[in-house]
Chains A and B, each alone.
Chain A
Amino acid sequence: SYALTQPPSVSVSPGQTASISCSGDKLGDQYASWYQQKAGQSPVLVIYQETKRPSGIPERFSGSISGNTATLTISGTQAMDEADYYCQAWDSTTVVFGGGTKLTVL
């Protein structure tokens, strides 16, 4: 079955740039979305259609796609960005989530 692969963890120093990858055979044909989930909270959409940012999401969050890999980039990472991040895509009429990446801001 279709899978999206993310690194389990990423660490970044405050003010630096964090990059989280998401690989899947059908990415590029299907849009990827990204969600931020802080401890004890529901997921929040931070990037959709690979590069678009919903209103209210800070400009430091951006997305890109290269081949079959989507990347979420957080520029000037802040302590408040520490969270789990999930990518998501559709596979025909079903939905797939990546395994999640824990972002630690050291």
Chain B
Amino acid sequence: QVTLKESGPVLVRPTETLTLTCTVSGFSLNNARMGVSWIRQPPGKALEWLAHIFSDDEKSYSKSLKSRLTISKDTSEGQVVLTMTNVDPVDTATYYCARWKGSNEFDYWGQGTLVTVSS
């Protein structure tokens, strides 16, 4: 059974660094053509893709947020970590991780974690 679960702080202060962890089970991050993306959704707004990590450790980032994002993985722990520096209240959103299986689509999504940026 494939599952993804996001974890991280509920509240972050402006200018701080946000670190989110996606813990996966039911598949290996080492599997060929497997990958995980981070996607966020501000309250009442649309989905926004942030970053992706492929099984060969290649990484890809949203052009608009690239300077603030870092994605990494710990295959042995089954975790994908996203860090976002210098957060602002506009970064308040539900953050999702989702599995990519080498085609185009994201077939499994986590439950999401709501992060609020506020002083």
A43–B60 CB distance below 8 A: no
A48–B105 CB distance below 8 A: yes
Question: Is A66 in the interface zone, CB < 8 Å from B?
Answer: no
Which partner residue on chain B sits nearest A90 by CB separation? B104
Offer 19 A-B interface pairs, CB within 8 angstroms, sorted by A: A1-B63, A30-B104, A31-B104, A32-B104, A33-B104, A33-B105, A42-B96, A42-B109, A43-B47, A43-B109, A45-B105, A45-B107, A48-B104, A54-B107, A88-B106, A90-B104, A94-B61, A94-B63, A95-B37
B residues 36-74 in Cβ contact with A at 8 Å: 37, 39, 46-49, 52, 58, 60-64
A49–B103 CB distance below 8 A: yes
**Which chain B residues lie closer than 8 Å to A96 at the CB level?**
49
Q: Mark A11-47, 1 if CB is under 8 A from B, else 0.
A: 0000000000000000000111101010000111100
Total residue contacts A-B, CB cutoff 8 A? 67
**Which chain B residues lie closer than 8 Å to A33 at the CB level?**
104-106
Q: Tally A residues with Cβ within 8 Å of B.
A: 26
**Which chain B residues lie closer than 8 Å to A86 at the CB level?**
46-47
Which partner residue on chain A sits nearest B106 by CB separation? A45
Which partner residue on chain B sits nearest A100 by CB separation? B46
B residues 12-53 in Cβ contact with A at 8 Å: 37, 39, 46-49, 52
Question: Is B85 in the interface zone, CB < 8 Å from A?
Answer: no
Q: Mark A94-106, 1 if CB is under 8 A from B, else 0.
A: 1111111000000
Q: A33-B104, A86-B46, A95-B49 given. 8 additional CB < 8 A pairs? A: A45-B106, A49-B105, A86-B47, A94-B52, A95-B52, A97-B47, A97-B48, A100-B47
Which partner residue on chain A sits nearest B48 by CB separation? A97
Interface size of B as a range: 20 to 34
Which partner residue on chain A sits nearest B37 by CB separation? A95
Which partner residue on chain B sits nearest A6 by CB separation? B46
A99–B46 CB distance below 8 A: yes
Question: Is A89 in the interface zone, CB < 8 Å from B?
Answer: yes
Instruction: Name the distance in Å between A19's Cβ and chain B's nearest Cβ.
Output: 20
Question: Is B78 in the interface zone, CB < 8 Å from A?
Answer: no
